Structure 1
Amino acid sequence: MKVVKRNRKKDIEVYYRENRYWDLLKRTKKYKDLYQSKEAFVSLLISFITVFFLLHVLLNKNTIDFFIWFHLTAEDKVYIENTINLLRSLLPTIIGGYFSLLGFLVGALAIITGTLGNKVMSNIVDDGKIKHMMSIIFNFYFSGSLMGVALTLLILSYLSTFTAIPLNAGVFIVWSILVCFVVYFSIIYSIMLLGTCIRLFLLGYKYFDEEQTGKRRYKISSIDKKRK
């Protein structure tokens, strides 16, 4: 029994050495959420819908015809200017909201890590579930990195509205889908973390309660599955 505990202690020692972002990303494989999760599907669907209405309403075109012919004419210049003006007023609001959302994420992570005391973490390590716990905690780190990417894309999009670069329909569509996808995905992913916070809070109490009563401990791996 002591040998098993010693081996399980080695599980957390790995994270003492490999605790950088890319190390954790490679070990937890959270990048798969970008194309294998329900958040990714919903985000991509909403992104296409957003771009569809953006082209239809702001460029005053039949959007289906626009996708078929894939070009802009001289008479579209007025509507393009309206689009740029709207983006200049809309993007700063979104950027400001992202800074607030990023602050919420940092605060939530601080509260969660403070709630999980040394005794709880020790029990998790003894149960051999530290890998699942690190995967759950890394969700906050991963979500924060997505917000950083989204902020970068939004700022670049805002700055591009002040340049004299001619508007290319293909670049506009691809860039819009990319930005919308990252924005929607990071927002949905952050909302999903609210459920993770609740379950982690209950987990901390359950480990404490079962330590007092000597009952069988709760399987932490089920939390990560529920988040999916």
Structure 2
Amino acid sequence: MEWRILLLARRGRDAAVIQQLLSRAGHQSLICESCDTLAREGRRGAAIAVVTEESLLDTDTGELDAWLREQPSWSDFPFVLLATKRAGRRPRDALRMLEQLGNVVVLERPVHGETLVSAVKSALRGRSRQYEARHRLEALQLAEERLINLNGSLEARIAERTEELSSANHQLVQEITERERAQAALVQSQKMEAVGQLTGGIAHDFNNLLTVIFGNLDLIQRRTQDETTGRLADYARQAADRAARLTHQLL
């Protein structure tokens, strides 16, 4: 479909003769009855078009112009125009028509068959380069889409990994905090244990001293006959009792 040649030659047997000539050269062609048909078939797919000048003059070319404007960026559809030989300058309408066609090769009639076939082959080579450009453009677009998808996937994976690392970091911070609290509690417990051991040792030593004091106070109270001395011994024993109670609280 993309390599067929569209023919527009509305006078006499021109279209049939051109089609027969191209067929002998190995090219598939389709005869179009009007500019609208040419535009419609061009949208379906074609390589080039061979048209006669009179087929484009004094007719509505709006649909053809619209199709040419709609071409994608890679396309510049080639025309081979069989023009009527003129003695002077071409009419303004003919010049405007050439400008609208854009990529056009003009052959003045009468034209030799080999010349026409050569012009067609040259136009086909140009169209082939356009198809190659389209292929490269499509490959670039496909690569761009793949890159966009890859970037999206990579961003999603990075976000997922970042969330995992953030969660792991949060858990690690919590574990470190709990460990620090446990270590602080252990240190405090060890301090309290050391203080308790020290206090217990002091209390035992103090009890030993109090035992001696109580013993001596008992001797004083039993042996003294002096009332003042006995009263002082009582005061001393009361103080020793309070000291004994304090020592007991430390144990």
Q: TM-score, normalised by structure 1?
A: 0.31
Larger Rg: 2
**Structure showing the higher strand proportion among its residues:** 2
Bigger relative CO (Cα 8 Å, ≥ 6 apart): 1
- Structure that is richer in helix per residue: 1
